[in-house]
Amino acid sequence: MPAALTGSVWQVEADDFPSDGSTEEQAKFLLRYAILAPSSHNSQPWVFDLSGDEIRIGADESRWLDAADPDKRELYISVGCAVENCCVAAEHFGFEPQVEYHDLESADFVATVTLRESEPANPRPPELFDAITTRATSHSVFDNEPLVPEARERLARVVREDSVTLHLVDDSETNGAISELQAEADRLQMDDPEYRAELGHWIGNGALGSSWLAARIGQAVVTHLDIGDREAKQNSKLIRSAPVVGVLTTETDDPVTRVKTGQAFEQIALLASSEGIAVHPMSQTLERPNLRTRLAEALRTTENPQHLFRLGYTDNEVDHTPRWPLETFLADRGDRD
Ligand SMILES: Cc1cc2nc3c(=O)[nH]c(=O)nc-3n(C[C@H](O)[C@H](O)[C@H](O)COP(=O)(O)O)c2cc1C
C-alpha cells in the first residue's frame, strides 16, 4: 500500500529525541525534521540511507518534475533544503554535522551528513531550529512594507555557502523587470500542456494541500484551460507587492552547486520565518533558459540564477502542506506513491 500524505509529521517534539539511543536512531529522528523541508510542487524528492553516524541523502527521480524542471535544478535545490534541515536539527541536538558532497558520476547519493558529537566551530543561528516546524510558503499579496533593516541585514548575512551569492532586490526598476519576466514565463509555462498536466497531477494528489474538492477543481482548471494570462497578472502583482525579491546565483551550475543553493535558501527561509517575514519561491522564470539568462542580465551578474523568491510581510496565516511519512523516504523501502 502506498503511504498517504499526512499533516501529522508536523507534530514532531524535540523532547522525543532518543538521547539514550544509538547514533543511528538519533540520526533517524533528525530525518523527521529533514522531511519538513520545502520542495518544488511539494514533490519531496529526497531519499535517505542511514548507516551508523552517516546519513546519505539523494534525489528520488520518481518524484522529479520533468516538465517544469528538465535540468533538475529544482530537484537538487529541494534535496539541499532537506540537507539543511538535517544539519540545523543535528546542531540543536548537540552534533557538529559535516557535509560531504559527491559527484553523481560515481555515487548514488549527492551528500553525506556525518554526525560528530562536538560543538560546531561555526554554529548556525539557534532560532533556525524552532522555525523548521513553523515555516510555511506564503502565496499572499504582501503589504509592501520595507523589511525591518536589522532583519534584512541578518538575512543578507545568514548564507554560509561561499559558492552561493544572495541578491536582495529592493529597487523598483529591477523589481519591475523581474515581474515582467515572471508574466512572460507564466504565459509560456501555462501554454505547455505537459507543464499543466504535471502541475495538475501534484494539485490533484493533494500534495499542495488543498481539500479534496478544491484539489479536484484546481486540477481540472490547470489541466484543461488556458489560464496563462490570469496566472501572469496574478504572479506579477505578487512580485510587485514584495519589498524584496531574493535571488540566489552561483558561478557553477551542477547538482552539488544546486544542493548548496537549497541549503542557502533554507537558511534564509528559516531565519525569515523566525523574523516574521513571509517567503514565496517563484520558479517559472528560471524554468525557461532564455528568461533565466535575461534574469541574470537584470541582476547585472555573470553568475547563474538558481532560485528566486519573494520576501515580505502579510497577516494571512498559512496552513502547513502535508508530507509522506518518514519511512517512505528510507532507501531500502519500495512503497513510494
Ligand atoms: C526549488 C523550489 C521551487 C519552488 N517553486 C515554487 C513556485 O514556483 N511557486 C510556488 O508557489 N511555490 C514554489 N515553491 C514552494 C513549494 O511549493 C512549497 O515548498 C511546497 O508546496 C511545500 O510547502 P511548504 O513550503 O509550505 O512546506 C518552491 C519550493 C522549492 C524548494
Band (pLDDT 50/70/90 cuts) for residue 270 is very high
Distance CA 217, CA 215 (A): 6
**To the nearest whole number, what is the mean pLDDT of the chain?**
93
Mean pLDDT (whole number) for 59-71: 96
DSSP labels, 209-276: ---HHHHHHHHHHHHHS--HHHHHHHHHHHHHT-SEEEEEEESS-SHHHHHHHHHHHHHHHHHHHHTT
Percent of the chain scoring above 90 in pLDDT: 85
Cα Rg of the chain, angstroms: 19
The vertex-283 CA angle with 2 and 306, nearest 5°, equals 105
Whether residues 12 and 112 share a domain: the answer is yes
Q: In a 3-state reduction of DSSP, which class is residue 94?
A: coil
Do residues 164 and 281 share a domain? yes
Q: Could you tell me which residues come within 8 angstroms of residue 107 by beta carbon, excluding any fewer than 6 positions away? A: none
Q: pLDDT tens-digit profile of 2-61?
A: 689 999 999 999 999 999 999 999 999 999 999 999 999 999 999 999 999 999 999 999
CA–CA gap between residue 277 and residue 157 (Å, rounded): 16
Say how many Å lie between the CA of residue 279 and the centre of ligand 1.
10
pLDDT at 223 over 90: no
- Answer yes or no: do 85 and 173 share one domain: no
The whole-number pLDDT of residue 335 equals 45
Q: Would residue 219 count as lying in a domain?
A: no
Note whether residue 79 is domain-resident: yes
Cell 561561499 -> residue: 162
Please tell me what DSSP assigns to residue 140: S
What local confidence, expressed as pLDDT, does residue 177 receive? Answer: 98
- Condensed to tens digits (0 to 9), the pLDDT of residues 271-326 reads 999 999 999 999 999 999 999 999 999 999 999 999 999 999 999 988 999 999 99
Inform me whether the pLDDT recorded for 212 exceeds 70.
Answer: no
Do 63 and 91 lie in one domain? The reply is yes
Query: CB-based contacts of 138: which residues, under 8 Å, 6+ apart?
Result: 278, 279, 280, 314, 316, 318
CB of 75 sitting under 6 A from ligand 1: no
Say whether 330 sits in a helix, a strand or coil: strand
For ligand 1, the distance from its centroid to the CA atom of residue 140, given in whole angstroms, is 13
Mean pLDDT along residues 183-191:
94
For residues 235-255, give the mean pLDDT.
96
3-state secondary structure of 58: strand
One domain for residues 176 and 275: yes
AA identity, residue 296: A
Do 79 and 104 fall into the same domain?
yes
If asked whether residues 282 and 325 sit together in one domain, one would say: no
Spatial CB neighbours of 150, under 8 Å, sequence gap ≥ 6: none
171 and 103 together in one domain: no
Count CB-CB contacts under 10 A for residue 69. Answer: 22
Measured from the CB, is residue 133 less than 6 Å from ligand 1? no
Range with the largest mean pLDDT of 72-76, 188-192, 216-220, 329-333: 72-76
Is residue 51 in a domain? yes
160 and 287 both lie in a single domain: yes
| Count of residues in the chain | 337
Is 208 within a domain? no
Does 18 share its domain with 160? no
The pLDDT value recorded for residue 225 is 67
244-255 in b/e form (b: 16+ CB < 10 A) is bbbbbbbeeeeb
Helix (H) or strand (E) holding 97: strand 96-101
Q: How many domains, the chain? A: 2
CA 51 to the chain's CA centroid: 26
pLDDT: is 2 or 252 the higher one?
Answer: 252
337, part of any domain: no
- Host domain of residue 262: 149-191+226-312
Most confident of 108-122, 205-219, 225-239: 108-122
Q: Is residue 253 part of a domain?
A: yes
Give yes or no for residue 210 CB within 6 A of ligand 1: no
- Position 227 confidence tier, pLDDT thresholds 50, 70, 90: confident
Residue 251 sits in a domain of what CATH number?
3.40.109.10
For the CA of 282, the closest atom of ligand 1 is 8
Q: Flag whether 144 is in a domain.
A: no
Q: Do 52 and 163 fall within a single domain?
A: no
3-state secondary structure of 75: helix
Same domain, yes or no: 100 and 185: no
Report if residue 171 sits inside a domain: yes
- DSSP-assigned states of every residue in 289-325: HHHHHHHHHHHT-SSEEEEEEEEE------PPPPB--
Supply the CATH number for residue 110's domain: 3.40.109.30
Question: pLDDT category, 106, cuts 50, 70, 90?
Answer: confident
Residue 80 near ligand 1, beta carbon < 6 Å: no
State whether the beta carbon of 74 lies less than 6 angstroms from ligand 1. yes
Identity of the residue numbered 56: R
Cell of 329: 523516504
- The CA 282 to ligand 1 mean position distance, Å, reads 8
Give the pLDDT score at 144.
77
